[in-house]
Amino acid sequence: MNIKKVNWSEYRDKLLPIVEQTEIKNNHRAAKQIDLALLKKRAFLFLVPNGFFVLRPIIEKGEIYNEVLFAYSFATGNTIKHQATIATLTRQIGGKGVIVYTVLKTLIKLLKRLGYQQQSVDGRIVKLIKVVIPESSGIS
């Protein structure tokens, strides 16, 4: 994995404006929630080549999930490229799956192609979940 978990406070001045600009562009108010979750260390910032994403472990219906609070790419193809990484990180915390909330129709379409299932719609916000398959323990 070419990924680096970093401290939000070290990157906040550079990355928060990107989160805020994306919020305005997508008309999806979440920048304050993302910032607060990172500041309180309830969410974690990961740098990847040409981008970054924020994961927040949550418990839903008694199961652990990794919620993708935010993802940004300076290049195309990162959504597909980093699915395995996010699945691995989810398994490492004992998670059942990955949750994404989005308003972007093109992202919804892509995530469905990648195995995410639409769970709900609240206004414009669509919730998608992908169950991660546990890695084989090597025991047969």
Q: Which helix (H) or strand (E) covers residue 18, if one does? A: helix 8-26
Length of the chain, in residues:
140
pLDDT at residue 110 tops 90: yes
pLDDT at residue 131 tops 60: yes
Long-range contact pairs involving 51-57 (C-beta distance under 8 Å, separation at least 24): 51/75, 51/78, 51/82, 52/11, 52/15, 53/82, 53/86, 55/86, 55/89, 57/93, 57/95
Q: Express each pLDDT in 19-77 by its tens digit.
A: 999 989 888 788 999 999 999 999 999 999 889 999 999 999 999 999 999 999 988 88
At residue 140, the pLDDT reads 40
CATH topology (fold) of 4-131 = Aminopeptidase (3.40.630)
Comparison of pLDDT for 89 and 27, the residue scoring more: 89
The arithmetic mean of pLDDT across residues 84-98, rounded, is 94
At residue 135, the pLDDT reads 67
pLDDT at residue 138 tops 60: no
Q: Are 129 and 65 in contact (CB under 8 A)?
A: yes
Comparison of pLDDT for 138 and 99, the residue scoring more: 99
At residue 139, the pLDDT reads 45
Q: Which two tokens stand for residue 131?
A: 């169950």
At residue 78, the pLDDT reads 81
Confidence class of residue 79 from pLDDT cuts 50, 70 and 90? confident
Average pLDDT along the chain: 91
